A and B are shown apart, each in its own frame.
Chain A
Amino acid sequence: MTDTAIEAAGLGRRFRRRRGPALDGCAFRLPAGSVCALTGPNGAGKSTLLALAAGLLRPTEGTITVLGTTPAAARERLAHVAQNKPLHPQLTVAGTLRLGRDLNPRRWDARAAERIVAEGDLDPDTKIRALSGGQRTRVALALALGKRPELLLLDEPMADLDPLARHQLTATLMADAADRGTTVVMSSHVVAELEGSCDHLLLLGSGRVRLAGPLDDLLAAHTLVTGRAGDALDPHTVVESRTTGRQLTAMVRPAGPLGDVLQGDRPSLEEVVLAHLRSPDAPPLLLDAREAAV
């Protein structure tokens, strides 16, 4: 058993029909057992990264190691729920669960899958095509958890769910993951949705890793400073700075004490992410869990 769930080195993927690469030179390490938020603007490469980790695509450059081996070799031990929740429309809910059993003969937990479906009050005899988007999400998650994965890759899992179902399914997912030490990677562009449940963050922008590392360490590395227009921000790394009238607001990575002139505040996750999204040229910050723990 390895302590790394996903490790990427120089990872890149190009698509013939797109001009630029979808992913370019990505390097990060995700420790096993973490719950990682994968975020970034539309088209940042989130789905591509998850598809590479799931062994659905082959990288055009670099490598990705999943659960200590190649994604293809880890196929039985990982689950992936795609953004559009592809299920066979002609099957019933029960038929879909039976499909999960037949396609995962060595590690299917019918009870876990049935419980998630039952929590949503779904009739097992309903055809998938008759379900709402949120109900389909529930069935897709039931299949993913029924497989008892060591790594769960979820692409925009909660987008179709109403707030109550979202809350309930997130709780089920997190309880299950905590019980079994499952590593979860969950993509979303709604940052607030991720803050409560995740302990790691991976921010992608234009196919590159912008931020990576334990959530707390990333937050601790940033300070939201306010001062007067014209105040020098040296020697800190400036992510974003704005001047409104005579006031200066900036997101910085402090290189030392702030001094007397500037006032520092601990930013929220959303503020850190938004500052990076607004300034695509800000330098990336990659914190490895191993180094950060020292």
Chain B
Amino acid sequence: MTTTTTRARAAVRPVSPPRGLLLALLRLHRTALWFWLGLVAVAAAALLWALGPGADAAWAEYRGMGCDGGAPDLGCDLPGPAFFRYETTVTVVIGILFLLPTLTAAWAGGSLIGRELESGTAQFAWTQSVTPARWLAAKLAVPALLLVPGTLAITLLHRTLWTSDHHLMRVLAWRAWYDDGVFEANGVLATAHALAALALGVLSGVLLRRALPALGVAVAAMASLTSVLDDLRPHLWPTPPGTPSLMHKHPASHFWPLQLVETGIVMAVAALATATAFLVLRRRTGAAV
């Protein structure tokens, strides 16, 4: 009797293998999942507010001060409280995008991989029916599939804001398209940075196998990458002849060439880190696939 019930239970497969692993990962990292969803919601809500009521109030204030008449007026350079709220909101969103790679690298190195290898829960998974390579693939795929749409949604909203409220953003807030924060938030670069941070964090976790050292090295690696890229950025596309390689010497039409070249570099770093992580894990465990 026991055997038949066992067989009957076994015949009812509740989940398919890959889906089981993905669901398990979402449950294991649900704190990070909720944190990320919350962060995306806050950033999106802030940008939507800025696009609608925030911009309207700032414009109303601007007009109330008699500043849209065209006559030069020194008072128009000193924004009022409505503009201040608008400006702060946009700054917070750019700050979130700026911090995202650091947070991602720290989490990926420390919590996603390092802690699991340190405590042995990774090895626990590998002695279930999950190969180390599939485990690592899932550990990369699940966060990547959540990071990409979230970051893209924020950058799309920011881009909409940038194109529709250009006067508020550029004239009053003193922002230019080539500022580090604006440049990253307007294209695909913020997403690429987040993915590279994930890959570098995972590699650091796989290499160091301990949560805190992996967290530290992942953050340091991501910070170095960002700093190198910031220095490199103006050189990624030729400036007009006779001008030095500085961001503000690039015409605005260089936005996409510069974005795409840098995105390519960042994604190559991410791919390299990912491949190395798989190789290291395979060398250690000797498991084929």
Interface of A with B (CB < 8 Å)?
51, 54-59, 71-72, 75-76, 78-80, 82, 84, 86-88, 90-91, 95, 98-112, 143, 147
A80: chain B residues within 8 A (beta carbon): 123, 127
* Interface residue SS majority, chain A: loop
Whether B128 contacts A104 by the Cβ 8 Å rule is: yes
Which of A55, A91, A111 is B286 in contact with, Cβ under 8 Å?
A55
B24: chain A residues within 8 A (beta carbon): 99, 102-103
Give the Cβ gap from B50 to chain A, nearest Cβ, in Å: 36
A104: chain B residues within 8 A (beta carbon): 128-129
**Smallest Cβ-Cβ distance to B25: which chain A residue:** A102
Query: Would A82 and B17 be within 8 Å (CB), given that A57-B286, A95-B27, A102-B24 are in contact?
Result: no
B27: chain A residues within 8 A (beta carbon): 91, 95, 98-99
Give the Cβ gap from A71 to chain B, nearest Cβ, in Å: 8
**Smallest Cβ-Cβ distance to B126: which chain A residue:** A56
* Interface residue SS majority, chain B: helix
Can you pick out 27 interface pairs between chain A and chain B where the beta carbons lie within 8 Å of each other? A55-B127, A56-B123, A57-B285, A58-B283, A58-B284, A72-B286, A72-B288, A75-B126, A75-B129, A75-B131, A79-B127, A82-B120, A82-B123, A84-B119, A95-B27, A99-B24, A99-B28, A103-B128, A103-B130, A104-B128, A105-B15, A107-B129, A108-B10, A109-B10, A112-B6, A147-B128, A147-B129
Give the Cβ gap from B169 to chain A, nearest Cβ, in Å: 42
- The reply to whether the CB of B124 lies closer than 8 angstroms to some CB of chain A is yes
Give the Cβ gap from B112 to chain A, nearest Cβ, in Å: 13
Give the Cβ gap from A207 to chain B, nearest Cβ, in Å: 18
Interface of B with A (CB < 8 Å)?
5-6, 9-10, 13-17, 20-21, 23-24, 27-28, 31, 119-121, 123-131, 283-288
Give the Cβ gap from A66 to chain B, nearest Cβ, in Å: 12
A59: chain B residues within 8 A (beta carbon): 286
B130: chain A residues within 8 A (beta carbon): 103
Whether A56 contacts B127 by the Cβ 8 Å rule is: yes
Which of A84, A105, A111 is B5 in contact with, Cβ under 8 Å?
A111
Whether A72 contacts B131 by the Cβ 8 Å rule is: yes
**Smallest Cβ-Cβ distance to B133: which chain A residue:** A72
Whether B120 contacts A84 by the Cβ 8 Å rule is: yes
Give the Cβ gap from B188 to chain A, nearest Cβ, in Å: 34
B9: chain A residues within 8 A (beta carbon): 109-111
Q: A76-B129, A98-B27, A99-B27 are in contact. List 15 more A-B contacts (CB 8 A).
A: A55-B126, A56-B123, A72-B285, A79-B127, A86-B120, A88-B28, A101-B15, A102-B15, A102-B21, A105-B13, A105-B17, A105-B129, A106-B13, A108-B10, A109-B10
